[in-house]
């Protein structure tokens, strides 16, 4: 497939199809609606299923049913819709059912607006459903990664038998960039645990209920062991001029794109700044941040929110270095210039306190 100029939302759908996804259940919501629109167009062309559910609650429960049959399936929404899916996500994690959810974040809380934010971090990364479970979360920073990380999400979902999020924002969802797609599609793996209406799978049972406390504890500990494995094996991040940096900026998604310009401009001013971009928001690159704290003097979390990821940065640094914050919210995407001014002021303040 040649390189194509395509929207981020549409790149998610093509990445999913190339990863062997053959079922999409969802409900349109701005700024994620193009995902459902593209899925409605392209899934039937490859013999797949598209169904517009009556609500996001219905969509996530349809995902439960489809995932139980072993098919690679996905849904997509934005903040208000992701809120409605939380109970279903807990059931999916409890039943160990792999699936992919794309969250194209918008301004909130409540109805908010349709402009980009990063304020879904807590409900996605920290999980908004009930019980002891986690979801793996991938955060693209380009339209190319919207496709690539969606394909990766299906691999991780099947490896860990767990829901996986692709968390982007309205800016990346609506942005158009050239994307180079894989030339060969991935065949979905055979899943011996699935329920497929055949005699060999009659014995299989998909459920999240264990009425005996000892059995439920055993299940929860098995889930926890998977998450600990993911924390060891699946952490992904990008360094940008951190080798000699005194100040480490931490940002993901579209913010990380902007921060690369901030790093270049700050260095022209003589401020040694670098960027650590988390690609996995869970598992979070805590070990790498601790390693950077051995020589860097300060960290600045930059988010399109009032500060949600910053708590993970503080936990990682563990008081060894100061962690400052700059953010915009309400759907405002910060410019490189205003971030640079904020970074300069923070550096002056910290130098005065030193």
Interval 156-182: pLDDT, tens: 999 999 999 999 999 999 999 999 998
CA distance 171 to 349: 32
168 strand-pairing partners: 104
> Look-up: residue for tokens 């219905």?
58
Please, which pLDDT band fits residue 332 given cuts at 50, 70 and 90?
very high
Cis peptide before 48 (omega within 30 of 0): no
In CATH terms, are 4-233 and 238-353 the same topology?
yes
**pLDDT at 137 exceeding the cut of 90:** yes
- In CATH, what is the architecture of 238-353? 3-Layer(aba) Sandwich (3.40)
Q: Is the peptide bond before 283 cis (omega within 30 degrees of 0)?
A: yes
- Determine the pLDDT at residue 195: 96
Contact present, 304 and 291 (Cβ < 8 Å)? no
Percent of the chain residues topping a pLDDT of 70:
98
Q: What is the model's pLDDT at position 352?
A: 56
Euclidean distance between CA atoms 166 and 140, whole angstroms: 8
| pLDDT (average), residues 278-287 | 98
Nearest alpha-carbon partner for 351 in 324, 326, 330: 324
In this prediction, residues 292-320 reach a mean pLDDT of: 97
Report d(CA 285, CA 146) in Å as an integer: 20
Q: Stretch 264-293: mean pLDDT, rounded?
A: 97
Q: Is the pLDDT of residue 118 over 60?
A: yes
Q: Domain coordinates of the chain in residue numbers?
A: 4-233, 238-353
Spatial CB neighbours of 200, under 8 Å, sequence gap ≥ 6? none
Helices (H) and strands (E) in the chain, counts: 13, 14
Nearest residue to 247 via CA among 322, 318, 145: 322
Q: Which residues pair with 280 in a beta bridge?
A: 138
The contacts of residue 147 (CB under 8 Å, 6+ apart) are 11, 12, 14, 15, 18, 179, 181
Cβ pair 342, 242 in contact under 8 A: no
Return the pLDDT at 354.
56
Q: How confident is the model at residue 306 (pLDDT cuts 50, 70, 90)?
A: very high
> Across residues 128-137, what is the average pLDDT?
97
Place of tokens 């900026």: 249
- Residue 183: what pLDDT? 81
Q: What is the mean pLDDT of residues 255-284?
A: 97
Statement: 4-233 belongs to CATH 3.40.50.970: yes
How far is 31 from 25, CA to CA, in rounded Å? 17
Q: Give the chain's mean pLDDT.
A: 96
Residue 88: pLDDT band (50, 70, 90) is very high
């Amino acid at each position: 497939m040649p390189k194509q100029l395509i929207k981020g939302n549409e790149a998610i759908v093509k990445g999913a199809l190339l990863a062997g996804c053959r079922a999409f259940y969802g409900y349109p919501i701005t700024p994620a609606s193009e995902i459902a629109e593209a899925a409605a167009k392209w899934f039937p062309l490859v013999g797949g299923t598209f169904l517009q559910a009556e609500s996001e609650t219905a969509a996530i429960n349809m995902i439960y049913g489809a995932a139980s049959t072993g098919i690679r399936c996905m849904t997509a929404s934005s903040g208000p819709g992701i809120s409605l899916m939380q109970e279903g996500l807990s059931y999916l994690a409890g039943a160990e059912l792999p699936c992919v959810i794309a969250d194209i974040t918008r301004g909130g809380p409540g109805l908010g607006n349709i402009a980009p934010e990063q304020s879904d971090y807590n409900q996605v990364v920290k999980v908004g459903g009930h019980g002891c479970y986690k979801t793996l979360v991938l955060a693209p920073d380009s339209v190319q990664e919207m496709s690539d990380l969606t394909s990766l999400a299906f691999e991780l979902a099947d490896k860990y038998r767990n829901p996986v999020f692709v968390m982007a924002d309205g800016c990346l969802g609506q942005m158009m960039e050239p994307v180079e797609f894989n030339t060969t599609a991935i065949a979905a793996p055979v899943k011996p645990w699935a329920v497929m209406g055949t005699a060999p799978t009659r014995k299989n049972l998909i459920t999240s209920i264990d009425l005996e406390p000892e059995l439920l504890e055993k299940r929860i500990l098995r889930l926890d062991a998977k998450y600990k494995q993911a924390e060891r094996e699946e952490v992904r991040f990008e360094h940008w001029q951190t080798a000699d940096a005194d100040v480490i900026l931490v940002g993901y998604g579209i913010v990380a794109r902007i921060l690369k310009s901030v790093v270049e401009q700050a260095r022209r001013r003589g401020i040694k700044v670098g960027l650590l971009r988390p690609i996995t928001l869970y598992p979070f690159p805590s070990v790498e941040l601790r390693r950077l704290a051995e020589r860097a003097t300060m960290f600045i979390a930059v988010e399109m929110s009032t500060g949600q990821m910053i708590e993970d940065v503080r936990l990682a640094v563990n008081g060894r270095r100061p962690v400052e914050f700059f953010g915009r919210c309400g759907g405002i995407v910060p410019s490189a210039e205003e971030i640079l001014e904020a970074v300069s002021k923070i550096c002056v303040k910290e130098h005065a306190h030193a």
